[in-house]
A and B are shown apart, each in its own frame.
Chain A
Amino acid sequence: MSGSGIASSHIEAVIRERLNSTHVQVDDISGGCGQAFEVIVVSPLFTGKNVLMRHRLVNAALKEEISAIHAFTQKDYTPEEWEKKQQQ
């Protein structure tokens, strides 16, 4: 079972470092316990990849972190998709 949890800042840092992300949002939805996270990742690495492949990319980059927490959900966008979304 997981211990004291992980800091949002750590997750954000890992994502920026390992996924060439241009925008990252990390929300701790476990009430500050560092056990459950909702993340948004925007990165050119997602271009040409379907949803499953994008999730696998993120899972691989965050393998250790994910195995230490209880819940993890993600939304992944390419920079173009994110731009469009902002304009909606």
Chain B
Amino acid sequence: MTVVEITSESHFNELTTSLPSARPITISFHTPWAAPCTQMNAVFSYLATQYNNVTFLSVDAEAHPEISEIFDVSAVPFFVLIKNGKVVRELSGADPKELSAAIQELSGQQPVVAPAAGVENDEKEETTAEEDLNGRLAKLVSAAPVMLFMKGTPAAPQCGFSRQLVGILRENQVRFGFFDILKDDTVRQGLKQFSDWPTFPQLYVNGELQGGLDIVKEILAEDPNYFKNLQTV
């Protein structure tokens, strides 16, 4: 299939409302003058030929500011992945590998490779996608010595528990990396399986789950120097 270039907001609305809601959609936001967009446009077009079960739409972000605003696009290239009418992932920047993996996840199918050498069975495909996700999650939880997976960002938390945990880390002067799970549903659901932990926020130290807000509070109640001791590691 090929990429459909959006010509107006009504064209966009027409297309998105006429599609069956189960069909995944991905939208690429680009501008003609940004060099990384040219490269990513080519990648996007190629991906469109590989995944027939996904609708690929392309929007010139400056020509259609109303559409850019709907998705809060602040920089290009920018990609939005939609499943069942919900934005499940957003990607910012020019990373062909990341986009390719994200679209494969969205599609849930193996890319069409012409000519097809043979037919892989479905189970094997699913395992590969799952392995990729687990690999990605393993890297994410170790992205910083202290990693916080939260709702929102430290500057703008979107949940009381996340806000409190950020507060505790700051009080203890802990340097931490964070990930906003509201921006990536794949990580949000994947991490629950990966760590066998049902709630957010989740705090990881050296790649190991410590727990959520209530556990961190309990740990500190017993050992107020818990974070200080970590710093020396």
Contacts and interface: CB of A to CB of B under 8 A. Distances in A.
B218 interface: yes
A55 B161 contact: no
B199 interface: yes
Interface in B60-84: none
A67 B214 contact: no
A71 interface: yes
Interface in A14-59: 51-52, 55-56, 59
Contacts of A72: 198-199
Contact of B196 (A51, A56, A67, A74): A56
A60 to B, nearest CB: 8
A66 B215 contact: no
B93 to A, nearest CB: 31
Interface stretch (B99-107, B121-129, B205-213): B205-213
Contacts of B6: none
Nearest to B216: A51
Given A51-B219, A52-B209, A74 B199 contact: no
Contact of B198 (A51, A59, A73, A75): A59
Nearest to B160: A71
Nearest to A73: B214
**Most chain A CB within a 10 A radius of its CB, from B198, B209, B219:** B198
**Most chain B CB within a 10 A radius of its CB, from A51, A56, A71, A75:** A51
Nearest to B208: A52
A71 B214 contact: no
A40 B64 CA distance: 54
A52 B211 contact: yes
Interface in B157-199: 161, 196-199
Contact of A63 (B161, B198, B210, B214): B198
Nearest to B219: A51
Contacts of A66: 198-199
Contact of B213 (A51, A52, A67, A73): A73
Interface in B200-233: 209-215, 218-219
Contacts of B197: 56, 59
Given A71-B161, A75-B218, A55 B211 contact: yes
Interface of B: 161, 196-199, 209-215, 218-219
8 contacts: A51-B219, A55-B215, A56-B196, A59-B196, A59-B197, A63-B198, A72-B198, A74-B214
Interface of A: 51-52, 55-56, 59, 63, 66-67, 71-75
Closest 10 CB pairs of A and B: A73-B214, A66-B198, A51-B215, A51-B218, A52-B211, A59-B198, A55-B215, A55-B211, A72-B199, A74-B214
Given A55-B214, A59-B197, 13 more contacts: A51-B219, A52-B209, A52-B211, A52-B215, A56-B196, A56-B197, A63-B198, A66-B199, A67-B198, A72-B198, A73-B213, A74-B214, A75-B218
